[in-house]
Amino acid sequence: MGSSAEIEESRILQPRLAAALFGHAEAERMLLDAYRSGRIPHAWLIGGERGIGKATLAYRLARFVLAHPDPSAPAVRQATSLAVAPDHSVARRIAAQAHPDLLVVRRVINEKSERLYTEIRVEDVRRSVSFFGSTAGAGGWRVAIVDTVDELNQAGLNALLKVVEEPPPRALLLLLSHAPGRVIATIRSRCRMLRLRPLSVEDVARAAAAALDAAEKDSDIQAAAAAAEGSVGRALMLLEGEALKLRSLVLEQLDRLPAVDPRALHALGDAIAGTEVETLQAFMDTINAWLGAQLDRDRNNDTARLNRMAEAWEAINRAGREVDTYNLDRRPFVFSVFHALAEAGRP
């Protein structure tokens, strides 16, 4: 799913281009204090839900360290944040993906299919070994961002572990994870954990407005922020195309469960039947948010229903990944999702 045009980067969604950070002042202060102490841990596991600013914070730290390589310098001592001016040479080179002392390990495009690989390739992880083994620039720092460690297979995790276990001096490894509790213990135990909380509705609105160069009080931005569950990424996705309208259609059918309206599901299937990645993601986000609320509600009550909902969650997300990976017809998927939810929710 997704042509090369669809995979092409959007400036509003690229953390390396973000000049501002919203809602994570405490985490930013922790990183700044650790750096100017002169004893910053070499590996950080930055965890939190998708789209809340993990990568933005990681790039922010990378820019600051590469722009101010001496932790004892007056500019570092006097800094109140990790901000680096956008016109600084380091910021410009990172924005252009051309800084030799920053390595970003992430999924790349398969040239044959013009689609992103489903995992981070082990050869891309192994690049970090030679990267940290080579000579750094004038400042002496090497920084690597792994976005995200969740997308590594076992071979990739083993390759990463070697880097985490034997870091060279003045190395900084920033591992991002949507589910840090699931990161293997051998890696997790060697990292300083930094958990980011979902943003407030106000911070999501401010961040989305800044990304889109729009008014914070815009009605669509306010609606997207309210529905985004603390994620700027999700808010921006909802603001693209018909995503907000799609969410409303999905919620309308979820409210009718366990009753199922085939005609309405046909219409919903048609609404997400294209190849755009945003529509399927908006559909899955809405389903998962609803399921999460159901699980929370049943946690201390109906154990049997709780188990059925948990099983439905796993099955729906597994099927969703297959639809995404193999570009399957989404109409039958919509029917299967609602029938699974109807069965799971019955008394």
pTM for the full model? 0.76
Residue 53 has pLDDT above 70, yes or no: yes
What is the β-pairing status of strands 43-47 and 192-195?
parallel
* CA gap 280, 275 in Å, rounded: 8
Residue 160 has pLDDT above 90, yes or no: yes
pLDDT digits (tens, 9 = 90+) for 84-143: 999 999 999 999 999 999 999 999 988 887 778 889 999 999 988 888 877 666 668 999
pLDDT of the residue at 138: 63
Structure letter (DSSP) for residue 56 = H
Say which CATH architecture domain 4-195 belongs to: 3-Layer(aba) Sandwich (3.40)
* CA gap 162, 129 in Å, rounded: 8
Q: Which residue do the tokens 């931005």 mark?
A: 221
Binned at pLDDT 50, 70 and 90, residue 227 comes out as: confident
Structure letter (DSSP) for residue 120 = B
* CA gap 186, 157 in Å, rounded: 10
Residue 111 contacts by C-beta under 8 Å, 6 or more apart in sequence?
A: none
